[in-house]
Structure 1
């Protein structure tokens, strides 16, 4: 039995790099001008002789004064640090020992165990109060498996006025919240952007949104809640108020991706001609990676407006438009938004999900006749910089120079 086999031998190839200057560029010819080296050296020697004569004259004047100062012991150390004379090391160490340099931690086992913080928002009038939104600390694959399912998520409201971090409110929601913000004019309202693309609001003054626990129901059946026996009990043992959302936007009219940022429109900017705001702050903008920019009216979810609805509050956006990439690669996703100070213009700066800085003016009329171009914004400029093609983590304006804007990326800032 004969078996024919064909073989072909080839040299193995290997790609590698080396640090060498073998192929560096060099000049093949040199142009020069003739110079009289002897005369130049004579000029250098002449200058050195003049400097030496000046140095000798200086020493002749200063030497007698230094000898006299040494004899009378009137010298001081001009290089001594004046701050070292204020106190010794012992007093410094004692002061450092009295000061507490350890941070004040806080953890809530019931609501914040194995969760990561997605956003922190401070109270506009009470800086010692903040709200903290939490997300499940799970991987992308695990989150994809539970997508579309509702489960209990919470936002913690903390108070650290008396050097003790206290949990005062727990805001419940069936959808995880990615970004939150207090209303500047109505701090009793907390707005949040959800992982499903919806926006929601909590009202701290609405008694109908309070969550009654089973213990409270048992206490009411027994004849009322139990009174505290010790009036001097620590504030940390006080009851925590639990609230549910007062209103939530319609799913079909919300974002298709998670809400990446939420900012209120500054005072003085006109948004809706039919319902003017006057000197009040009434509207806020939500952005997402789906390219949609939605402007909401917060007056639609005020307590008086919610009472008009017999059932669930129907919250619809006021203005909605889509941003498209300038290079024609589809929709332009956004990660952060910024309004400049002291400017009453219908425009804002936004950071894209690819690291670009974009300037948008929503007052311009849309251009284009096709259906997919009906939502295009006419005035949108993009500025590229050193980036890593990742969503921008922060977008802030300089507190000292209004014309400076900083974007923070994963490994650098611009």
Structure 2
């Protein structure tokens, strides 16, 4: 009406539309021209309602009439009429599938003597491989054994077999890792030497000398290929013949001894095992709960109530542990000190490093080598013999949580006693000849070096003041009290990937320098002597060692072997000192 104005079809009723009381109008299509037009407009609400009511009545009456007509209608059954068969070509296929007789039928007549009708029947056993005449019986049966007639073969006719040709599908998946883009090149044509270059290469003295030196090695490799089959699979023939090395029972390892404690190690996972470096037959085992990361979060309150222990066993008593080393959390790895076995270092599953001092129980571990479970001292209580309780050793020191690893410690190693690391990662002379430093790695991508000696007197508070301010639990050694909750790493290396973003997740590392056998004098559990040995030597008097290798290998969660160095090198871009890591 606004766009077309006077030529609009609704212009004659413009005022009616403007005066309509509601917002919705009813326009009805009238194909029968009931009111003279193909469309008509309801001008009032009463006309709209009356139109709806009339339409509903008409619809209802039409439905009722159709239902009545449907009910009154009587169905009459008409049988189908037969029609003449018109072949569309399928009769040929039907005739090909028909089985037709290719020879005349054989008539067979089975008869019986009249006097045998109704006669009594007697059943007996007969052997099919013997004739009835040999057994003295009447010839009532004949055995027809099957045999292969070479003169008669059945030739198979044309076989009708349905085959559906479809492409073979195979489901595969691949995990790709993003790497930063680098320039790359590809040789797409064969590189051939010209005649002059070929003559120059033949006259080259370096090439001829290389060929002469490599002839013997090539001959040896060719001889080995002839003598030994390099493609022979040893795994297929492994264990097929037991006659070579006895029976199968001789090829399996037999259990010698097992250590089980129903209270401390039942239904738990053994995370680490280490032998005592000086006492034979004594070993330590770390146990933790078999929980996943989500289960540990759900059962955090339960884990806090249960003690995290390292059990020290002796072959003399496989039922009762000799000592229990209690830690702040589940211990994932630990290691005895090679020079002083009374010191034990362990890595917790929460990333903290723990130290134990078992000097007070050194005599108990030495005596356990000769004693047995039958000769243990027993106490009598209410007329019953009770074994003494296993002593529990509380940890002497634990690293500060803010300076520890952010994930579980996967490996702990002691630095050999013939050298130590300074703050720059350089090896220097160890005048003490005692293992005083530790190396740890974790899945958080860090490798740390720790020092168990007390700090310099200028940096540490007086020992008397520390003892007065901080209470010490009963039975805890005072040897490493200066490190408890304040222990920081001496050296921290971040295992950052060189060729891509992210960090390595180290699980195990190995250093080339190993602890040699040294006939050290045992402290014998004397705390005073242990405190005297743990003194920091002057850095000015320490001599740098050039023959000590600072490189080490590290295995990661992704199956990579990383070659790294403890020496810190300054980055030209950031100016920070970082360790160098190279993936192999």
- Could you tell me the TM-score, scaled by structure 1's length? 0.56
Matching residue of 1:265: 415
Give, in whole Å, the separation in 2 of the partners of 1:280 and 1:205: 16
Match status 1:333 vs 2:505: yes
Do the aligned residues in 2 keep the contact of 1:336 with 1:351 (CA within 8 Å)? yes
Matching residue of 1:316: 488
**1:327 Cα offset (Å):** 2.1
**1:250 Cα offset (Å):** 0.4
Give the 5 Å matches for 1:145-160: 145-146=298-299, 150-151=304-305, 152-160=307-315
Do the aligned residues in 2 keep the contact of 1:324 with 1:376 (CA within 8 Å)? no
Please give the root-mean-square deviation of Cα atoms over the aligned residues, in Å.
Answer: 3.8
Give, in whole Å, the separation in 2 of the partners of 1:142 and 1:106: 27
**1:113 Cα offset (Å):** 2.0
**1:137 Cα offset (Å):** 1.3
**1:317 Cα offset (Å):** 1.3
Give, in whole Å, the separation in 1 of the partners of 2:423 and 2:406: 28
Do the aligned residues in 2 keep the contact of 1:300 with 1:306 (CA within 8 Å)? no
**1:297 Cα offset (Å):** 0.8
Do the aligned residues in 1 keep the contact of 2:495 with 2:504 (CA within 8 Å)? yes
- Could you tell me the TM-score, scaled by structure 2's length? 0.41
3-state secondary structure, aligned to 2:453: helix
**1:375 Cα offset (Å):** 5.1
- Judging by fraction of residues, say which structure has more strand: 1
Matching residue of 2:359: 205
Give, in whole Å, the separation in 1 of the partners of 2:391 and 2:462: 21
Match status 1:179 vs 2:315: no
Matching residue of 1:253: 403
**1:257 Cα offset (Å):** 0.6
Do the aligned residues in 2 keep the contact of 1:264 with 1:283 (CA within 8 Å)? yes
Matching residue of 1:367: 571
Q: Which runs of 5+ in 2 are unaligned?
A: 1-165, 172-243, 362-376, 456-460, 471-480, 515-546
Give, in whole Å, the separation in 2 of the partners of 1:238 and 1:287: 38
3-state secondary structure, aligned to 1:143: helix
**1:155 Cα offset (Å):** 1.0
Matching residue of 1:108: 261
Matching residue of 1:40: none
**1:329 Cα offset (Å):** 2.1
Figure out how many residues of one structure are paired with residues of the other and give that number.
267
| Pair 1:130–1:273, CA change in 2 (3 A) | same
Give the 5 Å matches for 1:11-410: 16-17=169-170, 101-146=254-299, 150-151=304-305, 152-160=307-315, 162=316, 164=318, 166-205=320-359, 228=379, 237-272=387-422, 277-278=430-431, 279-300=433-454, 309-310=466-467, 311=470, 313=484, 314-341=486-513, 344-370=548-574, 374=576, 376-377=578-579, 379-383=580-584
**1:115 Cα offset (Å):** 0.7
Do the aligned residues in 2 keep the contact of 1:266 with 1:344 (CA within 8 Å)? no
Do the aligned residues in 2 keep the contact of 1:266 with 1:339 (CA within 8 Å)? no
Do the aligned residues in 2 keep the contact of 1:180 with 1:192 (CA within 8 Å)? yes
Give per-residue Cα distances to partners, 1:316-339, cap 9 Å, x unaligned. Answer: 211112110122221222100111
Radius of gyration: which is bigger? 2
Q: Which runs of 5+ in 1 are unaligned?
A: 1-12, 19-82, 84-88, 208-225, 384-414
Give, in whole Å, the separation in 1 of the partners of 2:326 and 2:463: 21
Do the aligned residues in 2 keep the contact of 1:133 with 1:154 (CA within 8 Å)? yes
Do the aligned residues in 2 keep the contact of 1:157 with 1:170 (CA within 8 Å)? yes
